[in-house]
Copies of this chain bind each other. A is one copy, B any other.
Amino acid sequence: MASALFDRDLVAIGDLSKKDIGEVLEHASKMLSIVEQGRRVDYLENEIMATLFFEPSTRTRLSFESAMQRLGGGVIGFADAGTTSTKKGESLADTIEVVSSYADVIVIRHSTEGAAREAAEHSKIPVINAGDGVGQHPTQALLDLFTIKKEKGRLDKLRIAMVGDMKNGRTVHSLSEALSLFGNEITFIAPEELQIPDSIYGRLSREYGSAQKSESLEKARDADVIYMTRIQQERFAKPEDYKRFEHSFRIDRKFLEGANNDVIIMHPLPRVMEISPEVDKMKNSVYFKQASYGVPVRMAILDMMLTGKK
């Protein structure tokens, strides 16, 4: 029987039901054991993935390519829109139309919100959104959920603090939606100017009744999960505002000594100043493990989308 994701697009986390998400995480566990055994398999030996990265990325692109190669599939693509026909004025629709006849699945990253949805509309093959501007990044949300499940043993009834740039962080938008769906208490901790957009906050508190906002990292002390994000200097009009926030939204050893002993610290990476390197060796830090789950989770998604074909 074909999987819940078979021949579907994955543009926003909301494309998946709670049940679908459960299936992905379960399949990812099986993929993890392949990775841990250091094996490559032939599940997708007949398939080719196109990675269309109109915006730079290390982690997402490399983990997708690693995932596809562990599954025996082929990879084509570009890491930089400068090497493509986009600069000759070609529309995204035309690029997608053509590439969808070269490959069996498209993974797209783009700087414009909505680009992945537009791509999916013009593609003959499944499209995976690997980040579209400030929009969505659903495979990141899935690997975040996988991490929480592995580390905390469950996906519900958790106190979750999301910290940093809640406004521009697409990761936060995808993940908070999924976490609310499973029934968790979320606190968005950010400077006023970078707080979660009203549209998202309103929907979460209306539908799930469990979202709060704060400007103080102190609100994260009792959390089960602290999800840090990068605050980019260029988001601030005045450098001194950035400096101020850089200090008040930073996790270090001292903070953790006053926090919930079992809290896990997550981060979609890259991190800059917001987690002190001294935290890396503490048992609470799980961000590198989280990054490593990018491979099995993306293997699961690719395998579920493509297996059953023909």
Contacts and interface: CB of A to CB of B under 8 A. Distances in A.
Interface of A: 37-40, 45-48, 50, 53, 56-59, 62-63, 65-66, 69-70, 74-80, 82-90, 93-95, 97-99, 101-104, 230, 232, 269-272, 277, 288, 291-292, 294-295, 309-310
Given A101-B288, A101-B291, A271-B94, A84 B56 contact: yes
Given A48-B70, A62-B102, A70-B74, 9 more contacts: A38-B46, A58-B86, A62-B77, A63-B102, A80-B82, A80-B83, A93-B277, A98-B288, A101-B292
7 contacts: A39-B46, A40-B45, A40-B46, A58-B98, A59-B98, A62-B102, A90-B272
Nearest to A50: B62
Given A69-B74, A76-B62, A269 B46 contact: no
B40 A57 contact: no
Contacts of A37: 310
Contact of A272 (B62, B63, B88, B99): B88
Nearest to A275: B94
A83 B57 contact: yes
B98 A292 contact: yes
A47 B53 CA distance: 24
Contact of A102 (B66, B272, B277): B66
B40 A59 contact: no
Contacts of A95: 58, 270
A39 B104 CA distance: 10
A90 B270 contact: yes
A85 B53 CA distance: 13
Nearest to A70: B48
A78 B79 contact: yes
Nearest to A97: B288
Contacts of A78: 58, 62, 79
A102 B310 contact: no
B85 A269 contact: yes
A69 to B, nearest CB: 4
A295 B90 contact: no
Contacts of A309: 38
A184 B38 CA distance: 43
Contacts of A69: 48, 74-76
Contacts of A40: 45-48, 74
